[in-house]
Structure 1
């Protein structure tokens, strides 16, 4: 009985071990197309949006600026520069939202942010950080588009 159990255990190990190798499922072509390093990661620009210093009391003006903000997000996504954006719930630190850009430098990211009416007007301000994350992150956008019933 002991021999049968050891034999079965040996077979089980042979079946499971190939699935545990680092190469299992690896696609060099996909990794290269996404700019992945050996860990499947790459650098991005992470932007933390906070409440800006401007106070605009005209509600129509604020609405127009945020409409432009949303349109700018759409343009940056279409240009494959912005891969993640979203607001935060109300919080005491006045964090408003985040962006993750595919850009390589803070300077390039700042240039893109200058086209955002809500940032340009001072309603929002942006802090930019280098961020190391999964190179597969851009693959999120096509899937999101397939489940987004209402577009902003």
Structure 2
């Protein structure tokens, strides 16, 4: 069953790149129209999926902020980033933060958040709780995002595969 869920998640993530631009109405229990699939109406409803297994999120790109170069004290930076990681953990546990992480070789684009909220205004309020944003180390850029509702299972699945905890 876990392999099926992982395969389903990968399929849904692949769908993200197909250019879906419309957000259909929430899903009601029905049979799957995909041959060979085992549609789970309860799980789809729990995750907030529409008929395509998708939902609306807000994507936030964290860019280098004006204070990043100014805050050079190692202890101060450590304090800011400790708060940054603690804040992400709090938001993830509340199922408001679905996905986050740094960019590799992103230039001034440092990382991303995907929030489980329908509006940019709600995401803006959540981002203001990030000590790195409050300190000006990062500045956020907001975009509405339509992606797989299976992303909502990322946190639970990550806990199963994470060997070393990020502090």
Structure 1 length normalisation: TM-score?
0.82
State the superposition RMSD in angstroms: 1.5
Residue 22 of structure 1 corresponds to: 34
1:71 aligns with 2:71: no
Q: Distance in 2 between matches of 1:33 and 1:21?
A: 20
Q: Distance in 2 between matches of 1:83 and 1:36?
A: 14
Residue 115 of structure 1 corresponds to: 129
Query: What does the per-residue CA deviation read over 1:96-146, in whole Å, with 9 as the maximum and x for residues that have no partner?
Result: 001111011111111111111000010001111100000111112111101
Unaligned runs of 5+ in 2: 1-31
Q: What does 1:1-150 correspond to in 2, within 5 Å? A: 21-22=33-34, 24-54=37-67, 55-92=70-107, 94-150=108-164
Which is richer in helix? 1
Count, aligned residues? 132
Unaligned runs of 5+ in 1: 1-19
Larger Rg: 1
